[in-house]
Structure 1
Amino acid sequence: MELPPKKILIKAIQKGLNFFYLRLLCNLGLNFTVFFLSFNLRAQNSEFEYFSDDTYHDYPIITFKENFFNHPVYYIEGIKVKQTEVKAHMEIMPGEAKSFGNNHAKLVTGTALRYASLTLLTGSLVFLFTSDPTPQNFRTWFFANITAVPLGAIGTRMGENAKRKNSNLIENYNYLVARESISGPYLRMDVRFNFIGEKIDIYDGPNRLDKARIRTLMEERPNMYADYQKALKMQKVSFALDLTGLSLTLLTYAYLFTTQFQSSTPSKLAIPFVITNLGLNLTSSQMRRRARNLTRHALDQYNFGEKYIPVVKHQSFDFTEPSVTLFNRSF
């Protein structure tokens, strides 16, 4: 049975439309696949236009120094900013921005433990001053100390590790935003904790530099090398103070455990020992802080040259730019 011409025409049109829709879907799928692959490949390619067009040059260099309490204070273009503003800028590296926030939380926890230790040490010292110099009171002071010292050590190490990691993250960020203008080695610092004191190491990539290599790199810039030399001297003084403080601590505990512990004579030497030890620890801590700040200052001058802006005494400004999350890229 033959179909009417009208039905044949409708059927032909339907077939044509079906073929057209099929071609359209195939082309759309193919184009989407090509676009998706191209986008991802470009996102992973350092020659992608986002990188080659110097877009990151709109982002500022972030620096930081430690204040009297060894807390990091952050600066953008020499002006003090909040930790949240630093994290917002670091959103160009989403994974590291998250790590920066986590490390800051650990820093706060470590600071709380350190303050708890300091409170306990201060309270025990006040107790020792205001109580009768009896063996029982000295035992109370001693046990308060052996509780506070490990607590303070844990808090200090937690805070220092968090600060050290955030320092490395800021170095990664600064390299990303300034790498087009960096012509020579990009020097980094790292703090190595020893049984007594600490040591500041300087790296060029994965290679730790010795003093001769550092002198060769910096000797053409005398101001930077002078800062580095001052930092080295402060590290030596800090080590001597730490060694003296440790010896005095051991001497104090040994003195309290001698036969004189049963009399009132410990009060004549124990309290001066404790006060002297606290003074040595505080002085050593400040020397280490100044050494770290001087080293950072010298390296920032070396790495960024004219782009480096020293810290200025301005009021902090409000961060108004939205955080930008780009590609989950590791640097």
Structure 2
Amino acid sequence: MPFYPFYSIKKFIGKIGLVLFFCFFGINLKAQDKRFEYFSDQKYADYPLITFKENFFNQPIYFIDGVKASANEVRAFMEIMPGDANDFSQTHTKTTTGTFLNLGGQAVVLGALGYAYNNRNMLNNDIVRNWFFLTIGGGVISAIGKSMNRHGVRKINNLIENHNYLISEDQIGSVYLKMDFRQNFLGEKIDIYDGPNLLDKARIRTLMQDNQEIYEEYKKALNKQKISFGLDITGLLVDIVVISYVISPQFQSSAPSNLLIPLVFANLGLNIASSQFRRSARNLTRHALHRYNFGDRALPLGRQNPIEFRGPSVTLFRKSFE
């Protein structure tokens, strides 16, 4: 009998402990559910738009809601689709590798040109041959790097467009414009799609006619493509002249022409200028489509207002602007 009260007290304390445990567990589950609010019912509350532009070296510079961000920060937001996040990370690395290969190849080409220029006063066929083969070797390395970079930028562009569509699907109208670009024999062609449908210029003009400012930006991109095309044709003609001269029988039996080095410098300048016009055309087109698709949500690109990520892991976070 004297032990019954003690037993009852222990039982009472045990029940209180059990109640407290379930209360704590319930609160924790509620907090856990709140942490996952972005992922419930495929509603991505407050998720920002991602875009990018290419810098002088055609390397992507990323922006999250108009704020400059790193590739790791972009990947963190893209973790809502883990497969796309992994693809983005791998493709960004491939793109960067391509950029370095391109720069390395260009360095070899410039080194060969410097070698020929330093020997311009005693230019002979052997020096020209050395310059020619070094230039070919550097050109091959550069071409491999450019191809890696170009394919990487195309894939990154597609992944980011898909991400933006996913988080904004309920707010987008019946048309969602996307871009792609491809290398032609002469120059580069930028294609614009509505879903799987390739649009012609007339259809694009019809879609953008309600917003003249966006259409003017798109027309600037078209003009830059035309300039780039003209520069590419001129550069090709210079290439033909230089290569024809180097492999001609006259070159084998006479001293090199004094026009050779100026032609090479001219060709190098044409290639650089054409590349920059192509890059600018892509950036303008990408920005115009971003503004068309998202309207007022497409914020101007800048460096201010750093993004702060908060959350229990890299895949669960919030953003805030200071």
Which TM-score band (shorter chain)? 0.7 to 0.9
Q: Is the 8 A contact 2:100 2:145 kept in 1?
A: yes
In 2 relative to 1, CA 100–127 (structure 1 residues): closer, same or farther, beyond 3 Å?
same
In 2 relative to 1, CA 318–133 (structure 1 residues): closer, same or farther, beyond 3 Å?
farther
Task: Kindly state the Cα deviation for residue 287 of structure 1 after the two structures are TM-superposed.
Answer: 0.4
* Larger Rg, first or second structure (1 or 2): 1
- 1:94 counterpart = 2:85: no
Q: What are the superposed Cα offsets for residues 72-127 of structure 1, whole Å, 9 maximum, x if unpaired?
A: 10001211000010011000010011110111121122112111111110110110
Measured in 1, the distance between the counterparts of 2:72 and 2:130 equals 43
- Other-structure match for 1:144: 134
Matched residue SS, 2:225: helix
Paired amino acid for 1:58? D
Matched residue SS, 2:182: strand
Matched residue SS, 2:104: helix
Measured in 1, the distance between the counterparts of 2:235 and 2:103 equals 20
Paired amino acid for 2:271? N
Which of 208, 214, 224 is the equivalent residue of 2:198? Answer: 208
- Other-structure match for 2:29: none
- 1:303 counterpart = 2:312: no
| Matched ranges for 1:79-158 at <5 A | 79-131=67-119, 132-158=122-148
Q: Is the 8 A contact 1:100 1:169 kept in 2?
A: yes
Task: Kindly state the Cα deviation for residue 303 of structure 1 after the two structures are TM-superposed.
Answer: 0.4
Q: What are the superposed Cα offsets for residues 11-70 of structure 1, whole Å, 9 maximum, x if unpaired?
A: xxxxxxxxxxxxxxxxxxxxxxxxxxxxxxxxxxxxx9522xxx3132100011111121
- Other-structure match for 1:14: none
Q: What are the superposed Cα offsets for residues 278-303 of structure 1, whole Å, 9 maximum, x if unpaired?
A: 11001101100110011011101110
Give the gaps of 5 or more residues in structure 1: 1-47, 326-331
Matched residue SS, 1:87: helix
Measured in 2, the distance between the counterparts of 1:255 and 1:249 equals 10
Please, what is the CA RMSD of the aligned residues? 1.6
Measured in 1, the distance between the counterparts of 2:245 and 2:301 equals 47
Measured in 2, the distance between the counterparts of 1:204 and 1:171 equals 12
Paired amino acid for 1:284? S
Paired amino acid for 1:73? I
Q: Is the 8 A contact 2:58 2:99 kept in 1?
A: no
Measured in 2, the distance between the counterparts of 1:154 and 1:260 equals 30
Q: Is the 8 A contact 2:62 2:70 kept in 1?
A: yes
- Other-structure match for 1:270: 260
In 2 relative to 1, CA 316–281 (structure 1 residues): closer, same or farther, beyond 3 Å?
farther
Q: What are the superposed Cα offsets for residues 157-200 of structure 1, whole Å, 9 maximum, x if unpaired?
A: 11110111011000000001111111230100011221221100
In 2 relative to 1, CA 49–92 (structure 1 residues): closer, same or farther, beyond 3 Å?
closer
Q: Is the 8 A contact 1:252 1:273 kept in 2?
A: yes
Per residue, is there more strand in 1 or in 2? Answer: 2
Which of 188, 202, 221 is the equivalent residue of 2:178? Answer: 188
Which of 158, 161, 184 is the equivalent residue of 1:168? Answer: 158
Q: Is the 8 A contact 2:125 2:251 kept in 1?
A: no
Measured in 1, the distance between the counterparts of 2:50 and 2:152 equals 17
Which of 27, 41, 61 is the equivalent residue of 1:50? Answer: 41
Measured in 1, the distance between the counterparts of 2:300 and 2:173 equals 21
- Other-structure match for 1:242: 232
Percent identity among equivalent residues? 48
Task: Kindly state the Cα deviation for residue 263 of structure 1 after the two structures are TM-superposed.
Answer: 3.4
- Other-structure match for 2:30: none
Give the gaps of 5 or more residues in structure 2: 1-38, 317-322
TM superposition score normalised by structure 2: 0.82
- Other-structure match for 1:324: 315
Paired amino acid for 2:193? Y
Paired amino acid for 2:194? D
Measured in 2, the distance between the counterparts of 1:315 and 1:262 equals 66
Measured in 1, the distance between the counterparts of 2:135 and 2:305 equals 41
- Other-structure match for 1:285: 275
